[in-house]
A = this chain, B = another copy of it.
Amino acid sequence: MSAKPNLHTILSPRLLDIYDVTDSIVVIIDVFRATSTIATALYNGATRIIPVDSVEKCIELGNLTGGITAGERDGKIIPGLKHGNSPAEYPRSFIEGKTLVLTTTNGTKLLHMALQSGASEVVTGSFPNLSALCQHLVQQKKNVFLGCSAWKDRFNLEDTLFAGAVIEQIKSHFTIHCDSSLMAENMYSLHKHDLKSFIQHTTHWHRLAQYGLEKDLEYCVSPDKANILPFYQNGDLVIA
C-alpha cells in the first residue's frame, strides 16, 4: 500500500503556524465572500486578481496596473476603493479582460500568511469552484491544508462547511488524523441538504444580511457556479 498524503483543516489564521505546511498545498477558504468573488471574477474572464493586505497598496496597485480596486472591511466597501466584495459585482460584461486588485478583512490576510509559511502552492476554494478544487487536490498527491479564513480570527461555520464539502469528496485519497477535519465533515454532512437555511443561523449571516446581501450569501453556498481553480503565482491569482 503506498502512503496517502495527509489532509488537515485549520480553523483560524491564528492556528496556521502550529502546522508544518512546507511542500504542501494550502487552500484559502473565505466563503463569505472573498474566495467566492475571486473564483467568480476569474471565471467571468478577469485576467488576474492581485490580493493585497492593505487599502493603501490596493489604491497604489490600482493606479499602477489600471486595475479595478475593490475591497471591504467589516462587510462595507472601503472609502477610496471603487468596488466591493460581492461576486454579483463581477459579471463577464464588466470584468472580462481586466485586472482586479482586492483587499478583504480575512481572506487576503490568510493568503499572505500562507505565502510566508513555506507552502509549495496556494490556491483558493469556495462553493462556486468546489469541484475544480477537489479534482486538483486529488491529482497533485501532495499534503493538503484546508485553511479557513474565519472572522477576525474567530472560528466560523461557513468556511468549516466548505472544508467539510471538500473532505466528503476527496477523503478516500488522503490520510486524515485531524479532529478539525472530522468535525468539518460531520457538520457538512448534517447540513448539506439545507445549507441555505442553515447558514442563516451563522453570525456572519446576521452581520451581512443587514446590508441586504441575502442573494449574495445564497450564491456563495451554491456549488460549481464558477468552476475554475484560482492559483497564486508571482503576486497574482490566475486560473491554473
Please report A residues at the B interface, Cβ cutoff 8 Å: 11-12, 14-15, 18, 152-157, 160, 177-180, 182-183, 186-187, 190, 201-204, 206
Can you list 7 A-B contacts with CB-CB less than 8 angstroms, sorted by A residue number? A11-B11, A12-B15, A15-B154, A18-B152, A156-B179, A160-B183, A178-B203
Whole-angstrom distance from the CB of A30 to the nearest CB of chain B?
Answer: 14
Contact of A155 among B11, B190, B201, B203 (CB under 8 A): B11
Chain copies in complex: 2
On whether A203 and B186 interact (CB within 8 A), knowing A11-B155, A14-B15, A15-B12, the answer reads no
Contact A186 B190 (CB under 8 A): yes
Q: Which residues of B contact A190 (CB under 8 A)?
A: 186, 190
When the two chains form the complex, which single residue of B15, B18, B180, B202 contacts A182, counting CB atoms closer than 8 Å? B202
Chain B residue with Cβ nearest A184: B183
